[in-house]
């Protein structure tokens, strides 16, 4: 089966991704992920979608009981190899899987995490997966780029990423890979759009905080419906 564009890109950048992410977030990413985890009521069965190099899973393992089961899924086999090398624990399982075809039973998970992944997915499709595999009163925890209300600021961000930041990004990534990241910014949501989307789909807001001058969402939603 031919690899998807996303799978090819993340396979290629797996070794450089942690360095890039720290650089691109001015070394804030670990603090943001810790805030997301600390403010989430975590249960026994926890999934990290688009786990990448496993940083969220690593932090979850440090926080949760050994009786918990933590799963990390990703399309990229190379990313999963990096994750496995960091976190070789028995209660952690990494799976090569598509977020739109989650390999879990209905109402089987207590928590689902996304760290800089949600904007890459078609939200009208992923929400059905979340409602299917998440238990009632389970939580979805999202760390993501926020789309600013100001069109001027939004356009500045796109110009910054595409023109000013591009030479630094191209040190690590090919043109196709960098274009993929820049294009994904256009799929970001404002705070109001994000909260409204989850509210319409049967989730209550549990926690919200913005960071980085309002350009980062840290949002946690509680499922309140059976589907």
Domain ranges for the chain, please list them: 5-146+189-223
The pair phi, psi for residue 136, each rounded to 5°, is -60, 135
At residue 167, what are phi and psi to the nearest 5 degrees? -60, -35
What are 149's two structure tokens?
Answer: 């209300």
Chunked mean pLDDT (size 10), the chain, 227 residues: 71 86 91 98 98 97 94 96 94 96 97 97 96 96 91 73 67 75 86 97 97 93 81
Cβ–Cβ under 8 Å, residues 186 and 158: yes
Judge contact between 125 and 100, C-beta under 8 A: yes
Cβ neighbourhood burial of 23 (10 Å; 0-12, 13-18, 19+): middle
Among 38, 34, 108, 40, CA closest to 71: 108
Distance CA 81, CA 64 (A): 23
The fold for domain 5-146+189-223 equals: Rossmann fold (3.40.50)
In the prediction, which pLDDT does 176 show?
Answer: 78
For the chain, helix, strand, coil in percent to 5 are 45, 25, 30
Q: Dig out the tokens for 167 from the structure.
A: 């030479």
Q: Which two tokens stand for residue 44?
A: 């026994």
Cα-Cα-Cα-Cα dihedral sign, residues 54, 56, 57, 59:
positive
3-state secondary structure of 187: coil
198 by DSSP, 3-state: which? helix
Q: What is the pTM of this model?
A: 0.92
* ∠ CA 110-111-113, rounded to 5°: 165
Place of tokens 């910054």: 160
Amino acid 169: pLDDT: 65
């Amino acid at each position: 089966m031919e690899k998807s564009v996303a799978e090819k890109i993340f396979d290629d950048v797996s070794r450089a991704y942690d360095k890039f992410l720290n650089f691109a977030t001015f070394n804030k990413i670990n603090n943001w992920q810790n805030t997301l985890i600390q403010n989430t009521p975590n249960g026994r069965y926890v999934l990290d979608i688009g786990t990448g190099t496993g940083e969220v899973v690593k932090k979850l393992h440090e926080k949760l009981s050994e009786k918990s089961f933590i799963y990390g899924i990703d399309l990229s086999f190379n990313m999963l190899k990096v994750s496995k090398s960091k976190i070789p624990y028995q209660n952690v399982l990494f799976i090569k899987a598509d977020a739109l075809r989650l390999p879990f039973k209905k109402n089987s998970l207590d928590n689902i995490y996304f760290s800089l992944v949600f904007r890459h997915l078609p939200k009208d499709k992923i929400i059905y997966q979340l409602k299917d595999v998440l238990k009632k009163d389970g939580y979805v925890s999202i760390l993501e780029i926020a789309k600013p209300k100001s069109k001027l600021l939004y356009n500045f961000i796109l110009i910054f990423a595409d023109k000013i930041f591009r030479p630094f990004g191209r040190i690590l990534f090919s043109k196709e890979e960098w274009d993929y990241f820049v294009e994904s910014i256009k799929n970001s949501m404002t705070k109001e759009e994000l909260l409204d989307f989850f509210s319409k789909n049967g989730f209550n807001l549990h926690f919200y905080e913005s960071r980085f001058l309002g350009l980062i969402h840290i949002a946690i939603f509680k499922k309140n419906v059976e589907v």
